[in-house]
Amino acid sequence: MRRTWSLLLAVFVACAAQPAAAQLEADLSSHLISITSNFTGTELLLFGAADGPGDIVVVVQGPRETLTVRRKQRVAGVWLNGRAVSFSDVPAYYAVASSRPLAQTVPTTTRAQYRMGGEFLAFSVAAGTQNIAGAELAAFREALVRNKRSASLYFEAEGSVTFVGERLFRTNIVIPSTAPDGTYNVNIYLIRNQRVIDQKTTPLSINKAGLERAVHDMAHQQPAAYGVIAIAIAIVAGWGAGVVFRRRG
- pLDDT tens figures, 86-135: 899 999 999 999 999 999 999 999 999 999 998 899 888 877 666 777 78
Q: How far apart are CA 115 and CA 193, in angstroms?
A: 19
pLDDT tens string 37-51: 788 899 999 999 999
Strand, coil or helix: what is 127?
coil
CATH top-level class for 2-208?
mainly beta
Residues 6+ apart with CB under 8 A from 218: 225, 226, 229
Domain boundaries in the chain?
2-208, 210-249
Strands of the sheet with 124-125, listed across from one edge = 64-75, 78-91, 124-125
Buried-state track 82-91, b at ≥16 Cβ within 10 A, e below 16? eeebbbeebb
* 98 closest CA partner among 89, 109, 88, 111: 111
> What pTM, to 2 d.p., does this model score?
0.74
* pLDDT tens for each residue of the chain, 249 residues long: 555 545 555 555 555 544 445 589 999 999 999 888 788 899 999 999 999 899 999 999 999 999 888 876 666 556 566 678 889 999 999 999 999 999 999 999 999 999 999 889 988 887 766 677 778 888 888 999 999 999 999 999 999 999 988 889 999 999 999 999 999 999 999 999 999 999 999 999 998 764 454 444 444 455 655 465 556 666 665 655 565 566 665
Strand, coil or helix: what is 131?
coil
Amino acid type, 37: S
Residues 6+ apart with CB under 8 A from 18: 25
